[in-house]
Structure 1
Amino acid sequence: MDVSRIPAGRRLGVAAVGCACALALGTGCSGSGVPVSVAEERKVPKATSDLQDDYQKVIRDVLPSVVQIQARDDLGSGVVYDDDGHIVTNAHVVGREKTFQVTTAGNESPQAARLVYAYPEQDLAVIKLDRVPDGLRAAEFGDSSKVDVGQIVLAMGSPLGLSSSVTQGIVSATGRTVSEGRTGGATGATISNMIQTSAAINPGNSGGALVNLDSRVIGIPTLTATDPGGSGDAAPGIGFAIPASTVRTIADQIIEDGRVTDSGRAALGITGRTVIDDQYRPNGVAVVEVARGGAAAEAGIRAGDVIVRLGDSDITTITSLAEALAALKPGDRTKVTFTRDGDERTVEVTLGEQ
């Protein structure tokens, strides 16, 4: 599946839009063209009223913990992680910048913040406010392992620069492994165990909050699917969020150690590139360099070999190799099939850590 990172949003104006009412029976209008109040026709069902109350409570609970991040001319979102002013967001939101302006709930004046550490491999970053404003509220993160398909979720952030915006949808799939491109500031990360959602996610939502009805952040919106027809436009209703468990693992290490010390990401220990066949079709990953002492080196894989299979997964591109590795953990043993001088060989590899 083609996916793209959510680009940072830009400020824009919003125009009010009117609506017309057709003069026809059964359209909700009186014969004179005066709209008939829906409330006069029927009461709101209790279940609907209760659900609305749930939405509004979640918004009151969580929205104050969602901030807007400005890096130069671009805007993104972030989530207040703790009471010390740490904010978690996407690595592609911070880009190469080191300082930021952050607008928090209840504070019209932007607050200065600095980068603590960015980890592009997982498209996560932590920044820290220079001064913690009064009333700053840290979000509560939920257990993303308990996320179920069909669960109602809200996405909160600053789509298109419109701060404190909320959209609604459901969890439409779990356990997705998706890869970003490398254009427009994207990190090229391959991320496993992503949460797929139908909640509308637009430019500027990156780094915000995907929230359940218990007011817990279960993910950080990061990617949208792109139209497979090649237009490059976002496919509506298909977005992806990094699960809260991954966010907590990475953010805790960054806050405590200033960097990621245990990624939990499996690695072969090679530098590779996609190769194509005579029909210009991707046909495997050529090993350009082998890290000394790495998993591939220990298994006897050499520069010039072309990897065509990892475990049960056929490998045709560097992205497919990254996605196959994303499903595994450091220390796992798996088989790697490659070609060398026209011969196909298979070796067993104990994976290292990225």
Structure 2
Amino acid sequence: MITDSEKMLDRIYNEVANSLNISSTMFDKAVKSYEAVGSWLGDAEYIGDIKVFPQGSFGLGTVVRPLTDEDDGYDIDLVSLMEDGFQLDDKMIKSLVGKRLKENATYKNKLEPEGKRCWTLNYDGFHMDILPCVPRHSIYLQPNFTEIRLTHKTGFETYEPRFSNPQKYIEWFEQQMSITLNEEKKAYSYRNKVDIETVKTYKVRTPLQKAIQLLKRHRDIMFEGEENAPISIIITTLAARSYNNEVNLFDAVKNILLKMPLFINKNVDGKFEILNPVVPDENFADKWNLEPKKCDAFFKWLRMAQLDIIENPLSVTGLNNVSSKLEIAFGKKITEKSLTEMAINDRKLREKGNLYINGLMGGITSEAAITTKKIGGHTFFGK
């Protein structure tokens, strides 16, 4: 049975995740920006048919705010797929997209020097990483033929092919949370009066998405200014494998942190493996085997996350003491903001007469039931 302390932490963690999430204003700005980039790239006759779509944390709905307002902002990862470019060589895949971006004065001013895999545009509040690629095979056709070939720059004017399948990864991620995702999409569809089929994963908020945001924020806090921080794709993949469609966020985070090690394997040569679930020849942990410090850093982070997010907050009583523990996990600013938002929401519900205490299980709720008792309204300043 879930305890009162766990219920309270569940409420707080939901508020923390909401505070970490990308704002609707920034979300809309990012979507309009990448649609505009897609239109510009698609208008170039020498590129041909092009498909631009989000991948990574933006596509999965797991973006987190920067640590401070002075940080550079969000990373928006985009796939720029030249659908007719199967025959292009590795260098040409990269250079065609870069050439087209430089033909637009606005994008040219935002463009960073060529990266290993991406072209990056710097916007106010976020970076847009554009990944040029072509179909791995002769065609790109959803849902079955969605593998891509991208290029990895290894030196001056030298490139080598790499392979991925971001569309399939999103589909796999969705399947790992299929029950809660469907419920959230239903709710979003009802609230916004749109067909459920049109609701994108990054528009909704499941416990898995929120749990990953909490874990990534803890990682950012722990490794601020340091190297060897666990990479997001490893945290995301292990969390998704560990998730069991828990509807309670605290339970989701607790079980994810407990089960993560079960999905870290070693091959016959004793090398660590965390395989891409949709491209099995890609090992997300390949650098662990080359740089053992990265492996050590992951397991150190995992243990600290278990302590800071689960064990330590449960070891104290009183909101002030809990708050102090959570500041270590998520940062002072986000923790204070989340607790303030929770207090404001409770006050609004109380004033409307919609706040209840559960006499059977304990805790505060906005839902009336046989076992709940309404909390009476009151005025402040002792009146």
Query: So what's the TM-score if we normalise by structure 1?
Result: 0.27
Structure with greater strand share of residues: 1
Query: So what's the TM-score if we normalise by structure 2?
Result: 0.26
Structure with greater helix share of residues: 2
